[in-house]
Amino acid sequence: MFDKKRYGRLKWACRRGMLELDVLFMPFAESGFNELSDEQQEVFERLLTSDDPDLYAWFMGHQVCENQEFNQMIQHILSRVKV
C-alpha cells in the first residue's frame, strides 16, 4: 500500500518533461492509480523507472515492451486515459 509520501514521490515521477508522457501519466496517477491492486501499483512504480525514450516508444506503439507486466500496464493506461 502506498502511503502519502510514497504516493507523492510517484506523482512526481509521473512528471516526465515530455508532454506526450505527461498527458498519460498524470491523469492516470490522479484517477486510475488507486483502483489498481497492490501488485499493479508496484508494476506502475517500476514502469516509471524506465527511460523516457523507451516509454515514449512503448506508449506510442513504435516498439513493443518485452516485459509482460509493463506491457499489460501500458495497455491498461492507454485504455483508461483518453488523449
**Protein fold of 4-81:** DNA polymerase; domain 1 (1.10.150)
For residue 49, the model assigns a pLDDT of 97
User: What does the pLDDT read at residue 43?
Assistant: 98
Cell of 36: 489498481
**Annotated domain spans of the chain:** 4-81
Query: Which portions of the chain are predicted below pLDDT 70?
Result: 83
Hey, what's the torsion of the CAs at 48, 12, 15, 64, to 10 degrees? Answer: 10
